[in-house]
Amino acid sequence: MIIPVETLLAWGATYRKLAPEEMIFREGSEGHFYYQLVGGSVRWVSITDDGREFIQNMIDPGESFGELPLFDDDVYASSAIANKESIVLRLQKNTFHQLLKEEPELHFAFSRSMAQRMRFKFLLLKELACNNPEHRISTLFSYFKESKKNICHDCNRVQLTRQQIADMTGLRVETVIRTIKNLQHKGSLVIEKGKVYC
């Protein structure tokens, strides 16, 4: 958790309940809030002119999203959409700035989280430049396993749909399905009852 819920509430954050597929903010709109997911799941996406989504990040409870406008006063670089019924806390931008000034340990934790996201973006961009789908998907799974994100800690089950993997890697879902089967045949992963395990 980047900022404890109690701290956010003490600074005036409010809860917002989201329906599945509800748009939280749209790419190109102004940002006025710090958002932190309390429960559920949110995807941070860029949407092409033809309506195709490219997943920038999958947000888990305790993580923040949509932070860029809080620091550069520009518009949102991507859209945020609830994957399922979710709950977020949102805090006014000016109050968020004051919180970081008064609690430098939170500022450091927040900066660390942003650096980790940037590192993931560099990894993903490098992999997108590679034309080999097996390499793209294997590297993505390795990163998730190492970072303990989107992979079950107990059983190593990938917690993304094949469509979400396609939307993260720039591949077609058919290519993802075929590639995952190839990786299974090579012994790199296991498929059991339709679930993928690393």
Looking at the fold, whether 25 and 108 belong to one and the same domain comes out as yes
Does residue 124 lie in a domain region? no
pLDDT recorded at residue 43: 94
Q: How many domains does the chain have?
A: 2
Global pTM? Answer: 0.74
Looking at the fold, whether 105 and 178 belong to one and the same domain comes out as no
Looking at the fold, whether 87 and 147 belong to one and the same domain comes out as no
Looking at the fold, whether 115 and 139 belong to one and the same domain comes out as no
Mean pLDDT of the chain: 89
Give the tens place of pLDDT for each residue, 96-150. Answer: 999 999 999 988 888 888 888 888 888 777 777 766 899 889 888 888 888 778 8
Looking at the fold, whether 177 and 96 belong to one and the same domain comes out as no
DSSP 17-42: EE-TT-EEE-TTSBP-EEEEEEES-E
Highest mean pLDDT among 23-27, 56-60, 148-152: 23-27
Query: Of 36 and 48, which is predicted with more confidence?
Result: 36
Quote the domain boundaries for residue 135.
Answer: 131-197
Does residue 97 lie in a domain region? yes
